[in-house]
Every structure is written in C-alpha cells, then in structure tokens.
C-alpha cells in the first residue's frame, strides 16, 4: 500500500488514485470499485475522533486497499475549494468517477442543471467523486444522502449520544465552560439538521438513512472504529455475511 506523505490531503489522495487508474488502464482492466464510509454525527458524539481512529484502523487492517484510507472531515471544505479551483476565502461561505456521470447524478439529485450549482452542490459533487474513487471516510455534509442512491459500496453510520455526555465531551474537547458548551451543541445540531432538510429534504434523525446507528455513551471510540472498520472489510468489501 502506498503511504500518504504530503500534507496536501486532496493532492495526495488524487495522486494515489490516479496511479491506480493508470495501472488498471495499462493492464486493460477497470479499476475495481472500492468501499467508502460516511459518518453522520450528533455534536459531541465523537465524529472527528472516531473518523481519525477508523482511518488508522483501516490503513492497518485493510490489506487489499490499493490506496490509503483517507479521512475528509474538517479538511473537506479545503478539498472542495481545491477540486473546483475556488478561492480559499470562500470557505467562510460554505454551509454545513467520471465527471459526466457525476453531473448526471447531480442533476437527478437536485433537479437542476450544473450551470446553477451553488457551493453546496459543489460540495456534494466532490463527495460523489470521493465515494466513486473509494477508500474515503467522509464526515457530515449529507454524504450518506448524496451517495446512497447511486453507489452501493458505501457504509453509512450515525453516531449519537445523550445530551449530557455530549456536552461534557465538547467541554473537554474545546475547553469550554458548561454554558458555552450547551450553546455550542445546540447551535451545531440545529445547523446540521437544517442543512439536511433545506438541501435534501431529509430528516437527519431518520434511522433508515443509515446502515448503523451507534451510541458512543456506552462504546469507546476505539471500539466504534473497530466495529465499523471490521464490518466494512468483512461485508462491504469481501461480500461476506
């Protein structure tokens, strides 16, 4: 497996995927579809931490991966800007395969032509590209809704937890006072719920949008990462029940 050495996550990821496509083309083969994972999360349920641990787990245990599993969470917006050659200052305005194929998906998904794509649509297009290439873990931004209809190799997870435990986690993670953590959790949860409803007309709390819902009150982040990673390798990738 090739290791990512560059600090440019998008550039390193694309470089490795390009090498895989080129090698398959030289052998007159099609690149085999690789799995991908989407993570939806309640604020404070450990989405970022689980994503990091999951990427590390899969890099170690998914011996068949041609490219390293790569996490796209807080760096997703930078990835969108890089792919679409947009100015970096647009990051402040960002709310929570084959190009032609992706454009067809986008038109069906949004019922709009590519000429009227907004920044939200460009984010969705990038998510589709990542999912098509595979070995990507995408956190948030409605990734499960965007990819579920078109790509069968995804595994979609939602992380939840009790309000009190999530508040405590946010206090510890961001070193906030309790009242500030309470406001932070409420604002973030409301924003994510609104993002999915406004852009995709979906309820983020609908359990049917996910393959697994995991309560991180009772399961450690390490164990959650192993559960997800093991399932992806065993079922999604190897087709074993």
Question: Residues 93-103: pLDDT tens digits?
Answer: 344 434 444 44
Who wins on pLDDT, 63 or 20? Answer: 63
Q: What is the pLDDT of residue 166?
A: 95
Q: Using 50, 70 and 90 to split pLDDT, how confident is the model at 84?
A: low
Who wins on pLDDT, 241 or 9? Answer: 9
Say if 208 falls within a structural domain: yes
Say if 59 falls within a structural domain: yes
Average pLDDT for the chain: 79
Q: Using 50, 70 and 90 to split pLDDT, how confident is the model at 61?
A: very high
Q: Using 50, 70 and 90 to split pLDDT, how confident is the model at 106?
A: very low
Say if 4 falls within a structural domain: no
Q: What is the pLDDT of residue 223?
A: 96
Strand partners, 137: 37, 71
As a whole number of angstroms, the longest Cα–Cα distance in the chain is 60
Say if 14 falls within a structural domain: no
Q: What is the pLDDT of residue 24?
A: 60
Q: What is the pLDDT of residue 1?
A: 38
Q: What is the pLDDT of residue 169?
A: 92
pLDDT of residue 183 exceeding 90, the answer is yes
Q: What is the pLDDT of residues 190-223, one digit of tens each?
A: 999 988 998 889 999 999 999 999 999 999 999 9
Cβ-in-10-Å burial (0-12, 13-18, 19+) of 85 comes to: exposed
Q: What is the 3-state secondary structure (H, E, C) of the chain?
A: CCCCCCCCHHHHHHHHHHHHHHHHHHCCCCCCCCCEEEEEECCCCCHHHHHHHHHHHHHHHCCCCCCCCEEECCCHHHHHHHHCCCCHHHHHHCCCCCHHHHHHHHHHHHCCCHHHCCHHHHHHHHHHHHHHHCCEEEECCCHHHHHHCCCCCEEEEEEECCHHHHHHHHHHHHCCCHHHHHHHHHHHHHHHHHHHHHHHCCCCCCHHHCCEEEECCCCCHHHHHHHHHHHHHHHHHCCCC
Domain of 217, CATH number, reads: 3.40.50.300
Who wins on pLDDT, 12 or 197? Answer: 197
Mean pLDDT value of segment 114-142: 79
Q: In the chain, how many domains are there?
A: 1
Who wins on pLDDT, 205 or 82? Answer: 205
Say if 8 falls within a structural domain: no
Cβ-in-10-Å burial (0-12, 13-18, 19+) of 38 comes to: buried
Distances (CA, A) of 108 to 72, 103, 160: 24, 9, 30
Within 13 Å, how many C-alpha atoms sit on residue 142's CB side? Answer: 26
Domain limits for position 65: 20-28+36-236
Q: What is the pLDDT of residue 149?
A: 82
pTM (two decimals): 0.76
Within 13 Å, how many C-alpha atoms sit on residue 229's CB side? Answer: 23
Highest mean pLDDT among 107-116, 124-133, 160-169: 160-169
Who wins on pLDDT, 81 or 58? Answer: 58
Mean pLDDT value of segment 58-86: 75
Say if 1 falls within a structural domain: no
Who wins on pLDDT, 117 or 20? Answer: 20
| pLDDT above 70 as % of the chain | 71
Say if 12 falls within a structural domain: no
């Amino acid at each position: 497996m090739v290791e990512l050495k560059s600090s440019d996550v998008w550039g390193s990821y694309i470089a490795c995927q390009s090498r895989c496509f080129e090698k398959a083309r030289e052998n007159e083969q099609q690149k085999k579809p690789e799995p991908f994972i989407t993570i939806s999360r309640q604020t404070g349920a450990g989405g970022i931490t689980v994503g990091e641990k999951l990427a590390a787990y899969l890099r170690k245990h998914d011996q068949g991966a041609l490219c390293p599993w790569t996490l796209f969470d807080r760096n997703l917006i930078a990835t969108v800007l890089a792919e679409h050659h947009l100015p970096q200052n647009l990051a402040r305005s960002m709310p929570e395969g084959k190009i032609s194929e992706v454009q067809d998906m986008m038109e069906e998904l949004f019922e709009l032509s590519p000429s009227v794509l907004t920044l939200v649509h460009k984010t969705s297009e990038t998510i589709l590209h990542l999912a098509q290439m595979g070995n990507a873990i995408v956190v948030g931004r409605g990734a499960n809704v965007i990819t579920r209809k078109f790509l069968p190799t995804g595994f979609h997870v939602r992380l939840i937890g009790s309000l009190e435990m999530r508040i405590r986690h946010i206090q510890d993670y961001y070193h906030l006072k309790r009242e500030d953590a309470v406001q932070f959790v409420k604002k973030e949860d409301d924003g994510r719920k609104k993002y999915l409803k406004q852009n995709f007309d979906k309820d983020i709390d609908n359990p049917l949008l996910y393959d697994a819902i995991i309560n991180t009150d009772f399961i450690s982040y390490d164990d959650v990462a192993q559960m997800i990673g093991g399932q992806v390798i065993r079922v999604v990738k190897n087709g074993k029940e």
